Structure 1
Amino acid sequence: MTQGETKSILGVAVRDVTRLRKVAVVVARHGFGEILLRMPFAAQILGRDVAKQGKEAQGTPAERFTQLLGALGPTYIKLGQVLSMRADLLPADYIQALSTLQDQAPVIPYSDVEKVIEQGLGRPVAEIFSELEEEPLATASIGQIHMATTKEGRRVVVKVQRPGIGDVMRGDLDLLYLAARGLEVSIDELKLIQPAKIVGEFEKNLLRELNFSAELANLVRARQLLDPARPVTVPEPIPELSCRTVLTMSHFEGRPIRDLEPGSDEAAHAIEEVLHAMCKGVFVDGFFHGDPHAGNILVDDEGTICFLDMGLVGTLSPEQRDDLVTLVLGTILDDASTVARVLLKMGTPTQRVDIGDLKREIIRVRSQYVMVQSVGEIDTEGFIEEFANAVRKFRVKLAIEYSLLVKAAGTVEGLVRALHPDVDALEITKPYVERIFSERWSPQQMVQQALGGGVGVASLLRTMPTHVDQILHDFETGNVQVKPITPKLDKLPDTVYQSATRVAVALFAASMTISAAVSIPAGYESYMDWARIFFFFLFTALAIGGWTVTWWWHWLGRARTFRLAPLLNFFRRR
């Protein structure tokens, strides 16, 4: 273990508890103290006055929530940016507010930058670069970017991770998970959203983002998928000058596309190439840029487009790409049944879905946003918002890949409206959809699917007699039993067991209390009196234990389960 990994459990716990109190104060200051008090042990740890601190908080809940995440620091800002992609979970006003979060952080001192490079690459900076500029090109919460020149004279960009950011974010992730589990226990409605699972996905992606080797792998894959016929590129990574905390890549001389004049030929060319690149990534490669905002796309004087910051990318399997094409075709052909079936396949329903109501909602949204006279009349933003509302209404949880795709599509749509609103997006998308459609129905593909299906049917027919014999034998021997499904009655044994256990513990505590009272000695003159004193303390301790268990069970659970995993994560050793 390294020195940073040998911290004691007590040290980690003390640090996290201190951080917890600071976070709680900031949460209360933004008007969310009442929610804090609904969590287990919040009143005992934080005090009941915590809810009074946010009485003067200004703004809507969505605005205050966004301000809260910004005030809590880089981990929470990243969480807000991830949540801004989950239109299937949050209302539109929250999505809009969270989209304004900016990844800002103080500049890393140059001496610290040198230390990170030397520790990561194992050599002094002077042996790696002939020049490393002290003034950073950009600064963010996770890292900082500097221009440099290699020993061979090549101009490169060096991305350096902020010192200590890993420990800070891991500590915040512990608190986030603990808070998410506490909210699930305290608020019934949040069980459908499953905030702990969201935090788990966020933790996995954030820890991956902290490993610059993952971004290097994304750059390598993106370069392999580049279309030589189109003027689109990504920086070339330099593996020998990169590690988990340092990423070195080629420098692209260009300017952000937001600096282009709207409506100009340059802007039209840039937008068309961005759309081609995104369509190819989504429909053909299944690998696309997850955050294609104006600052992450550069264009040079020759019209070449360069996508930066490949730390966040989306991936789609061939089956998911087929579903997207089917969804597009179903929408164009006004086939509500197909659209409904694909939507349910793309997500996970958390409750029973009325297919009839879903079809009527699809027809309404299509007639309002798709049946227009021209492409310019299509309200993409409104369509995405209505789509997200329908997903939330029917409690369908989209896969994270689709959530990222919806976010990326909305970002690109904003670029189109700002720089070249007259672009024929459908004409650009059409060849890629046709390519997938032709591949799906190609003779070779159909023969392959037919052979695969035929082999499966033949295997099923060959083994069916054995399975039938086994089922009949199980019925005869009583190994197969038919039981009615009664959800409410099925919970009755557990409810009776919990109630009986609580009553038993309460009766035990009451009996110990009475025994302690009876055991109080009248004096201290004989051995019998000292024996009664001993039993008095014994019964008192057992009574306190019994009442504590009864109180804990009633206050914490209220017939809900509470997992120990968050507490173990809270005190885990790093």
Structure 2
Amino acid sequence: MSTPGPAPRTRPESPSVVGIAVRDLARLQSVALTVAKHGFGPLLIRTPLGRRLFKDTPQGDAALRDQAAPVRFARLLAALGPTYIKLGQILSMRKDLLAPEWIAALETLQDDAPRLPFASIREQVEASLGGRLEDLYETFSEQPLGTASIAQTHRARTRDGEEVVVKVQRPGIEATMRADLDLMYLAAQVLEASIDELQFVGVVSVVEEFEKGLLKELDFHQELANLLEFQRNLEPGRRVVVPRPHPELSARTVLTMQFFEGRPIRKLVPKSAEARAIVDEIVRTALKQVFVDGVFHGDPHAGNLLYDDALTVCMIDLGMVGRVTPGQRDDMVTLAIATIASDPTTIARILLRMGTPTQRVNLSELKADITRIREQHLMVASFGEYDSAGFIEAFSRAAGKYRIRLARDMAILAKAAATIEDIVRTLHPEVDIVGIARPFLDDYVQKRLSPRRLLGEFASEASGIGSMLRTVPGQVDQLLHDFETGNIRVRAVTPELDDLPRLVHALGSRIALATFAASTTIATAIAVPESTESTLRLAVAGILAFAAAASWGTLAAWHWLGRGKPLRLAPLVKFFRR
């Protein structure tokens, strides 16, 4: 056990709102300079904010100029810090949004971070758990097991003598990441308002989705709940475990869990009997998580799967999990059956239901692409020739082509499936995946087609139809009455003209605000006294000057960020909310 730490430090005074705003504005300028350095100056200068930060198009670093844009983008995120690295890792799962070369570049981002001094770890644990480290644990190693951008892990022993791992959040990392998220929101709003192509990508929605996942990852209570849920879902008699958490030694920024004496599965000898047994358990567990439990490991790479001498597999790092609803499971089974039966109409319908189309979809072209993808990736002689990663990538690319935005959990599932397939190909490609999957699929199809379930669904649908039919006479009567009294109006839809009232209203508002700003400016000049003896005139002049400055500032922000559109204040409020 380490020696007792120094006396607690006095907490520094909270910075002022002005100080925080100045700091974030400086950070915004630093981010813009880093973006320009990595060769994205031409994109930045297309935004009103970029044109205010730079007079001319900034030139990128000569050493990066010859590299491909995806590589420069990945290096840009790495240079901006842990929040942006996390964003890149999430984007690497969105094959429906990004091209393959961008995905490949983002997959190289590593979640590394410098080692924290043990004094900081001690202070964080004691503040979170409300006690001295020596009273909480029998021993606590000063040497970290691993470091990452959000947390650092250490070995320890509880007062009951159990070996555990303690995951400690980096002090101040949540405040840093929240500040970065506010800048991301502001940048996303500016990009969507300035660059038409990015409106189809939905940059703001990507940032919103990223924020939800990141804030969950920062709250260790969420990972604690995931560990408990996965423990409840473990199948008795199988050689798969998850670390048992210790809720009494856990908090929002500290997580204590059972230590598993094992090693990463990447150390297995490929095609050995041990590798076959481990891969069999991994595939079986993954299928059970998706088709039975409805919750699965979102990042099952080789470093997050350990094994011991008894060939027991341990899943660690359950901060990111995905969830599959019963409806989504039905869709996946229907999709698999339709793919085997070569039914592009059903595949297209399921794809549209699993995603969110952001524009009109040409169904004939979508069906033709589905047929092409199936023939290219699924018409193979053996599993060794089957490339599920290529199939998922082509499928996601088709979704992106037709602007069908996949749900976050579906994107995580696609990434997890490709990761597990890579493990199978690396360690033991001869494993009978179809044989392992058949019992789960047979059981699921039997439950789905069971008379009791079909009868229940039929009764539910019949009840809904009956309820609807009961309201039809009243609705028809109301419709006829509205026709008779002239309360039904027909309006022609004219997209170009429909936007005219909003534009006129915005223009009128800007003219009114500009008139008010000019008036208060002139009034300020008139109200300023010749000497400082007139306190009342000085006060009036000050109020008028403040009103004029606020009006001109609002007009400038409206012009820079709105570009003739209604100004969205939400990102600005979030930017200064701290």
Q: TM-score, normalised by structure 2?
A: 0.89
For the residues of structure 1 that align with 2:547 and 2:219, how far apart are their CA atoms? 52
- Residues 372-391 of structure 1 aligned to structure 2 (within 5 Å): 372-391=380-399
**1:38: Cα distance to partner?**
2.5
Aligned residue number for residue 569 of structure 1: 574
Q: Is residue 2:371 matched to residue 1:363?
A: yes
Aligned residue number for residue 107 of structure 1: 115
| C-alpha contact 1:369 1:383 (8 A) present in aligned 2 | yes
Q: Is residue 2:61 matched to residue 1:54?
A: yes
Residue 252 (structure 1) aligned to one of 238, 260, 280: 260
Q: Is residue 2:235 matched to residue 1:230?
A: no
**1:554: Cα distance to partner?**
5.6
The alignment partner of 1:134 has SS state of: strand
Distance 1:391 1:251, change over 3 A: same
Aligned residue number for residue 532 of structure 1: none
Aligned residue number for residue 529 of structure 1: none
The alignment partner of 2:152 has SS state of: strand
Residue 313 (structure 2) aligned to one of 300, 305, 319: 305
Aligned residue number for residue 538 of structure 2: none
**1:504: Cα distance to partner?**
8.2
Q: Which moved more, 1:233-242 or 1:265-274?
A: 265-274
**1:450: Cα distance to partner?**
1.5
| C-alpha contact 1:185 1:562 (8 A) present in aligned 2 | no
| C-alpha contact 1:25 1:50 (8 A) present in aligned 2 | no
**1:382: Cα distance to partner?**
1.6
Aligned residue number for residue 92 of structure 1: 100
For the residues of structure 2 that align with 1:500 and 1:297, how far apart are their CA atoms? 62
The alignment partner of 1:145 has SS state of: strand
Q: Is residue 2:219 matched to residue 1:195?
A: no
For the residues of structure 2 that align with 1:183 and 1:212, how far apart are their CA atoms? 33
For the residues of structure 1 that align with 2:35 and 2:426, how far apart are their CA atoms? 36
**1:503: Cα distance to partner?**
7.6
| C-alpha contact 2:558 2:567 (8 A) present in aligned 1 | no
**1:493: Cα distance to partner?**
3.5
| C-alpha contact 2:230 2:242 (8 A) present in aligned 1 | yes
Distance 1:7 1:477, change over 3 A: farther
**1:144: Cα distance to partner?**
0.7
**1:549: Cα distance to partner?**
7.9
For the residues of structure 1 that align with 2:269 and 2:119, how far apart are their CA atoms? 40
Distance 1:135 1:549, change over 3 A: closer
For the residues of structure 2 that align with 1:20 and 1:542, how far apart are their CA atoms? 27
Aligned residue number for residue 528 of structure 1: none
**1:320: Cα distance to partner?**
0.8
Aligned residue number for residue 124 of structure 2: 116
- Residues 435-474 of structure 1 aligned to structure 2 (within 5 Å): 435-474=443-482
The alignment partner of 1:451 has SS state of: helix
| C-alpha contact 1:32 1:54 (8 A) present in aligned 2 | no
Aligned residue number for residue 489 of structure 2: 481
**1:285: Cα distance to partner?**
1.1
- Letter of the aligned partner of 2:192 in structure 1? E
- Residues 277-426 of structure 1 aligned to structure 2 (within 5 Å): 277-426=285-434
**1:571: Cα distance to partner?**
0.6
Residue 565 (structure 2) aligned to one of 557, 560, 564: 560
Q: Deviations over 1:312-331 (max 9, x none)?
A: 00001110111111111110
- Letter of the aligned partner of 1:242 in structure 2? S
The alignment partner of 1:133 has SS state of: strand
- Letter of the aligned partner of 1:13 in structure 2? A
Distance 1:246 1:460, change over 3 A: same
For the residues of structure 2 that align with 1:325 and 1:209, how far apart are their CA atoms? 30
- Residues 216-227 of structure 1 aligned to structure 2 (within 5 Å): 216-227=224-235
**1:542: Cα distance to partner?**
12
- Letter of the aligned partner of 1:115 in structure 2? E
Q: Is residue 2:35 matched to residue 1:27?
A: yes
Aligned residue number for residue 80 of structure 1: 88
Distance 1:507 1:256, change over 3 A: closer
Distance 1:371 1:107, change over 3 A: same
Aligned residue number for residue 36 of structure 1: 44
The alignment partner of 2:59 has SS state of: helix
For the residues of structure 2 that align with 1:285 and 1:5, how far apart are their CA atoms? 48
- Letter of the aligned partner of 2:363 in structure 1? I
Q: Is residue 2:158 matched to residue 1:150?
A: yes
| C-alpha contact 1:330 1:336 (8 A) present in aligned 2 | yes
Give ranges in structure 1 of 5+ residues lacking alignment. Answer: 525-539
For the residues of structure 2 that align with 1:426 and 1:479, how far apart are their CA atoms? 62
| C-alpha contact 1:211 1:245 (8 A) present in aligned 2 | yes
| C-alpha contact 2:220 2:252 (8 A) present in aligned 1 | yes
- Residues 504-519 of structure 1 aligned to structure 2 (within 5 Å): none
**1:171: Cα distance to partner?**
0.9
Q: Deviations over 1:458-490 (max 9, x none)?
A: 222223222222222233233332222222332
**1:510: Cα distance to partner?**
11
- Letter of the aligned partner of 1:57 in structure 2? L
**1:112: Cα distance to partner?**
1.1
Q: Deviations over 1:522-544 (max 9, x none)?
A: xx9xxxxxxxxxxxxxxx99999
Distance 1:169 1:505, change over 3 A: closer
Task: Report the aligned-residue RMSD.
Answer: 2.8
Identical positions, percent: 51
The alignment partner of 1:483 has SS state of: coil
| C-alpha contact 1:30 1:54 (8 A) present in aligned 2 | yes
- Letter of the aligned partner of 2:268 in structure 1? L
Q: Is residue 2:430 matched to residue 1:430?
A: no
Residue 175 (structure 1) aligned to one of 168, 173, 183: 183
- Letter of the aligned partner of 2:469 in structure 1? L
- Letter of the aligned partner of 1:274 in structure 2? I
Distance 1:148 1:559, change over 3 A: same
- Letter of the aligned partner of 1:431 in structure 2? P
The alignment partner of 1:85 has SS state of: coil
Distance 1:356 1:242, change over 3 A: same
For the residues of structure 2 that align with 1:572 and 1:506, how far apart are their CA atoms? 27
Distance 1:563 1:542, change over 3 A: closer
For the residues of structure 2 that align with 1:32 and 1:553, how far apart are their CA atoms? 25
Aligned residue number for residue 22 of structure 2: 14
**1:6: Cα distance to partner?**
5.0
**1:501: Cα distance to partner?**
6.6
For the residues of structure 2 that align with 1:508 and 1:169, how far apart are their CA atoms? 39
Give ranges in structure 2 of 5+ residues lacking alignment. Answer: 1-9, 531-544
| C-alpha contact 1:33 1:54 (8 A) present in aligned 2 | no
Q: Which moved more, 1:231-240 or 1:12-21?
A: 12-21
Q: Which moved more, 1:76-85 or 1:462-471?
A: 462-471
Q: Deviations over 1:200-225 (max 9, x none)?
A: 11111111111101000000000111
For the residues of structure 1 that align with 2:25 and 2:379, how far apart are their CA atoms? 56
For the residues of structure 2 that align with 1:5 and 1:243, how far apart are their CA atoms? 25
Aligned residue number for residue 539 of structure 2: none
- Letter of the aligned partner of 2:454 in structure 1? M
Q: Deviations over 1:205-263 (max 9, x none)?
A: 11111110100000000011111132111100110010001100111111100000111
